Amino acid sequence: MSENSKDKAPSRRQFLSGAAAVGVGAIGAGAARAAGPDPLITQVQEWAQATGEGVDATPYGLPIQFEKDVVRRNVEWLTADTISSINFTPIHALDGTITPQGCAFERHHSGAIELSKPDYRLMINGLVDTPLVFTYEDLERFPRENRVYFCECAANTGMEWAGAQLNGAQFTHGMIHNMEYSGVPLRTLLEEVGVKPEGKWVYVEGADASSNGRSIPLEKAMDDVLVAFKANGEALRKEHGYPVRLVVPGWEGNMWVKWLRRVEVTAMAIESREETSKYTDTLEDGTSRKWTWVMDAKSVVTSPSPQAPITHGPGPLVITGLAWSGRGSITGVDVSVDGGKNWIPARLAAPGTDKALTRFYLDHNWDGSEMLLQARAKDSTGYVQPSKAQLRDVRGENSIYHNNCIQTWWIKETGEAENVEVS
């Protein structure tokens, strides 16, 4: 690890460019006094004189060029190949709660496929009165619901079990997105086929080459699971399962089967590869938990963070982040600036809603000294997000999945931030 490679680290680079953009920052509290007239104000700028693009220039818009760094990123060493791999949502650069589809993390097991609506079929079979096949058009004729839910990969923060590893909220906590789904309750479709009394589970399966499949207890299937075809108002993106995916609120992302092609009612769990060899959690003594479906309450400060350092001086600082729980809604988030010695209740941007992301803010007056920044979520069941030490006490370090520990960012006097662990 040379000095050179350190210089290339994102936090450092972004910090420097950020600082340069700000120019002469304000030192100390109070409004800064300008050294001279600002040419951006005193001179007529090109954009204030010439015209911009016409309405026919961009039939479907992408973010403006200045936002080109706000993209999904992957960690090459994590997997053997990008086709069976994952990337990360740039949560450090987003605000609010809704994740735009174009930068919402992707996880595929055999790549993102292109399946058209005319070619789409959904079969429901197994322990049912009448096995049925639905076309996409059929699905659009059932009564629809709109719901906002987070989808978190069970492996989110999985690289951090043994220690602080990846330097950026995008990489430590970016296997998550939060969208508004439009779709049909799975319950409606199961009632249409008629579930036999011996049916206790559904096995859901995708149409891609990985044939990813998971077993879901019938109780959950009849509760809040959605067969969704729109997200954030528009068709699902290819990488999120166009034309139809399953939405399994509060439960691990692997169960949200994309390109959903089949729902089979069964008497028992199928124990597929994704629910035995993967997505099971090995404890310290070598035994493993299975069927750990629900995502525990969790939160993270998204800014400041290693990819989003403080580029201004002391004074007003917006500390913000996200909180969520698979068991219910977020009722509160506490923030610590001293590594968990003392906690301050953060302001929720809106009251927490069921199994969806909640945005929190702490409007802080930064004195310019070092901070050990943490957030701690509380949910409607009374669960309080544990520290990494508390989690390791129960689970050891080999779980891979379901790491919902409190995250620490070390904010330095320069405003730079680093992923650290604290005592």
Partner 1 sequence: MSKYRKLLAASVLGACVAVPAYADKFGLGRPALPEEIAAWDLDVAPDGTGLPEGSGDVFTGEEVFAEYCAICHGDFAEGVDNWPKLAGGEGTLADKDPLKTVGSYWPYLSTVWDYVNRSMPFGNAQSLEPDEVYAIVAYILYSNDIVDDEFTLSHENFLDVEMPNAEGFIVDDRNTAEAHFWTSEPCMVDCKESVEITMRAAVLDVTPEEVEAEDAGQNPAAEQASTAVEAGTEETTALDPEMIEHGKNVFKKCKSCHQVGEGAKHRTGPALNGIVGADAGAIEGFKYSKAMKAAAEKGLVWTDEEMAAFLARPKAYMKGTRMSFAGLKKQDDIDAVIVYLKSFGS
Touching partner 1, residues 75-114 (CB under 8 A): 75-77, 79-81, 83-84, 109-111
Query: Rounded CA gap, 236 and 239, in Å?
Result: 8
Q: If binding is defined by CB under 8 A, does position 126 make contact with partner 1?
A: yes
Q: If binding is defined by CB under 8 A, does position 13 make contact with partner 1?
A: yes
Find the binder of partner 1 among 15, 259, 293, 366 (CB under 8 A). 293
Q: Quote the Cα angle for 173-418-376, to 5°.
A: 50
359 close to 349: Cβ distance less than 8 angstroms: yes
Whose CA is closest to 307, among 34, 5, 2, 9?
A: 9
Quick check: helix, strand or coil at residue 180? strand
CA distances from 265 to 60, 271, 384 (A): 40, 14, 36
Mode of pairing for the β-strands spanning 121-126 and 132-135:
antiparallel
Q: If binding is defined by CB under 8 A, does position 423 make contact with partner 1?
A: yes
Residues 174-233 that bind partner 1 (CB under 8 A): 191-193, 203, 205, 209-213
Given the complex with partner 1, which of 156 and 315 has the nearer CB atom? 156
Given the complex with partner 1, which of 124 and 175 has the nearer CB atom? 124
Q: If binding is defined by CB under 8 A, does position 10 make contact with partner 1?
A: yes
Find the binder of partner 1 among 74, 95, 312, 313 (CB under 8 A). 74
Quick check: helix, strand or coil at residue 44? coil
Q: Which stretch binds partner 1 (CB under 8 A): 26-34, 146-154, 216-224, 256-264?
A: 256-264
Find the binder of partner 1 among 306, 309, 326, 415 (CB under 8 A). 306
Torsion on CA atoms 70, 386, 383, 363, rounded to nearest 10: -50
Quick check: helix, strand or coil at residue 193? helix
Q: If binding is defined by CB under 8 A, does position 53 make contact with partner 1?
A: no
Find the binder of partner 1 among 261, 298, 355, 359 (CB under 8 A). 261
Query: Rounded CA gap, 142 and 189, in Å?
Result: 8
206 close to 264: Cβ distance less than 8 angstroms: no
Q: Which stretch binds partner 1 (CB under 8 A): 34-42, 150-158, 173-181, 280-288?
A: 280-288
Give least dist CB 259 to partner 1, A. Answer: 13
Give least dist CB 260 to partner 1, A. Answer: 12
Given the complex with partner 1, which of 170 and 178 has the nearer CB atom? 170
Given the complex with partner 1, which of 137 and 367 has the nearer CB atom? 137
# chain residues binding partner 1, by CB under 8 A: 112
Q: If binding is defined by CB under 8 A, does position 347 make contact with partner 1?
A: no
Given the complex with partner 1, which of 106 and 334 has the nearer CB atom? 334
Give least dist CB 44 to partner 1, A. Answer: 29
Please tell me what DSSP assigns to residue 224: T
Q: Which residues contact 93 (CB under 8 A, 6 or more apart)?
A: 67, 69, 70, 307, 308
Q: If binding is defined by CB under 8 A, does position 131 make contact with partner 1?
A: yes
Query: Rounded CA gap, 150 and 354, in Å?
Result: 9
Looking at residue 242, its amino acid is Y
11 close to 310: Cβ distance less than 8 angstroms: no
Q: If binding is defined by CB under 8 A, does position 328 make contact with partner 1?
A: no
Query: Rounded CA gap, 212 and 147, in Å?
Result: 24
Find the binder of partner 1 among 4, 8, 34, 50 (CB under 8 A). 8
Residues 137-176 that bind partner 1 (CB under 8 A): 138, 141-143, 163-168, 171
148 close to 179: Cβ distance less than 8 angstroms: yes
Given the complex with partner 1, which of 144 and 230 has the nearer CB atom? 144
Given the complex with partner 1, which of 357 and 406 has the nearer CB atom? 406
Q: If binding is defined by CB under 8 A, does position 380 make contact with partner 1?
A: no
357 close to 97: Cβ distance less than 8 angstroms: yes
Tokens 């009849």 correspond to what residue? 222
Mode of pairing for the β-strands spanning 330-336 and 315-324:
unpaired
Give least dist CB 266 to partner 1, A. Answer: 7
Give least dist CB 65 to partner 1, A. Answer: 9
Q: If binding is defined by CB under 8 A, does position 3 make contact with partner 1?
A: no
